[in-house]
Chain A
Amino acid sequence: MKKLEYGLDISGLTVDFGNFKLDNITLKVPRGCITGLIGRNGAGKTTLIKTIMRLNSACAGKILYNGLYFPEHEEEVLNKIACVFDSPVYGKGAKPKQLIKYYRRAYKNFDEDKYNALMARFSLPHDLKFSKYSFGMNKKYSLILALCQGADILLLDEPAAGIDPFDRSAVVELIQEFMQDENHTVLFSTHITEDLDRIADYIAMIECGKLRFMEEKEELLNSYRLVQVVEVTEGIKSVAMGLKSTPFGATFLCKTEDVPAGASVKIPSVEELFVALTEEGLTANHSDDPFGL
């Protein structure tokens, strides 16, 4: 059998809510890899994830899940995707031991041994109402539920939002454990946190409902430099993105080949790249699109 290349193969996806539109998204998420989805609030990250989870209906385009087209393989696809939403999908009044009865029935591949082991590992009580769970405990619990469904494709909407660094490292650890199987695929949206960015293999950026780019992370970061100069010349203005002047000079982002001679440079972090590109997107006209999209 030919090896499948993409966990998610999205083409021409359009979702129209009237006041917001996810516009003609074509995004191929490589199987066996972790892809981070970045973008400002309201850019469409959550809408995209919900559409992949079949919670929004698209007016155009299609999505293949491990090569399978949803309408033709409904049950198979639904058993192969799992999602951690930004807020828990269960009621606050319930307890894990009650909820799990439903999951056992709903997911035929539900792995109860793994579930119990993970509950023990993260000291999550079975017999406590979710309203008594802390925010971080609820996040971890949601992730554990998703991981035990026997899915190959894991989607996470802001898995690190609002949790402390300690809980975040648990989330990172669980995602990387899931990725030990090369047939697994992870797509998460992120508000940019260093530990989560570090484990991503690809970065996709969406802006106002459109995909701006999707690239291998190291290559992407390495194709830009964060530059510090004392004086801003006309030459610099023509290549600089997200130019910020300080009393001592200026910092900006530019393509690696455009770095002015003698400037102090470093490779940007995902956050630095994101901020500069977003700013550039707000100010510059796109007639000269640096991404060739």
Chain B
Amino acid sequence: MKIILSGPGDMPIYERLKNGIKFQIASGELSPGSMLPSIRVAAKELGIGIITVKRAYDDLCEEGYLFSEQGRGVFVSKSDAEELHKKNLREFAQKMEELKEIAAALNIPPEQAEQIFREIWRKKS
């Protein structure tokens, strides 16, 4: 079982690990109920701190993506796909909120912001 870091290099490492795990849950690479590597193994595989991994796991447990069982390990939540998608949408909406603030500050109307978003999307795929 592999886990990954995802996100820009200047983002805190635990955030990148959280992103990576969320991404893998969303893509199905980490299936519901599957066990994650232990904190120490993950730290070694990724070449990062033990506390960094623990923090990412703890956060994801609190946010409902993972759950931990005393003495057994940390697992991917069994919440169904629909619920997970809703959670992802909520989180995405939050990020968009920040962008909206920036757009408003720069006097960019929503139509134009939408157009830029669509263009970025098109170029990427």
Chain A residues near B (Cβ < 8 Å): 32-34, 172-173, 176-177, 179-180, 182, 195, 198-202, 216-218, 221-222, 266-267
How many residues of chain B are within 8 Å of chain A by beta carbon?
16
Q: Which residue of B lies closest to A195 (CB)?
A: B47
Check B10 against A179 for contact (C-beta < 8 Å): no
Q: Which residues of B contact A199 (CB under 8 A)?
A: 43, 47-49
Check A180 against B44 for contact (C-beta < 8 Å): yes
Q: Which residue of A lies closest to B52 (CB)?
A: A218
Check A198 against B51 for contact (C-beta < 8 Å): no
Chain B window 7-29, contacts with chain A (Cβ cutoff 8 Å), 1 for yes, 0 for no: 00011111000000000000000
Report how far A218 CA is from B18 CA in the complex, Å.
14
Q: Which residues of A contact B11 (CB under 8 A)?
A: 267
Chain B residues near A (Cβ < 8 Å): 10-14, 40-41, 43-44, 47-52, 55
Q: Which residues of A contact B49 (CB under 8 A)?
A: 34, 198-201, 217-218
Interchain nearest-CB distance for B5 vs A (Å): 11
Check A34 against B12 for contact (C-beta < 8 Å): no
Report how far A199 CA is from B12 CA in the complex, Å.
13
Q: Which residues of B contact A179 (CB under 8 A)?
A: 40, 43-44, 50
Check B44 against A177 for contact (C-beta < 8 Å): yes
Q: Which residue of A lies closest to B105 (CB)?
A: A262
Interchain nearest-CB distance for A3 vs B (Å): 14
Interchain nearest-CB distance for B33 vs A (Å): 25
Query: Lowest 4 A-B CB distances belong to which pairs?
Result: A176-B44, A201-B51, A201-B49, A266-B10
Check A180 against B51 for contact (C-beta < 8 Å): no
Report how far A222 CA is from B11 CA in the complex, Å.
10
Q: Known contacts being A198-B49, A199-B48, is A222 close to B40, with CB within 8 Å?
A: no
Please pick, from A173, A180, A218, the residue contacting B13 in the complex, using a CB distance under 8 A: A218
Check B51 against A33 for contact (C-beta < 8 Å): yes
Interchain nearest-CB distance for A212 vs B (Å): 20
Check B44 against A198 for contact (C-beta < 8 Å): no
Check A33 against B50 for contact (C-beta < 8 Å): yes
Q: Which residues of A contact B50 (CB under 8 A)?
A: 32-34, 179, 201
Report how far A182 CA is from B11 CA in the complex, Å.
28
* A172, A173, A176 — most chain B CB neighbours (10 Å): A176
Q: Which residues of A contact B13 (CB under 8 A)?
A: 198, 218
Report how far A266 CA is from B41 CA in the complex, Å.
29
Check B12 against A198 for contact (C-beta < 8 Å): no
Report how far A88 CA is from B44 CA in the complex, Å.
26
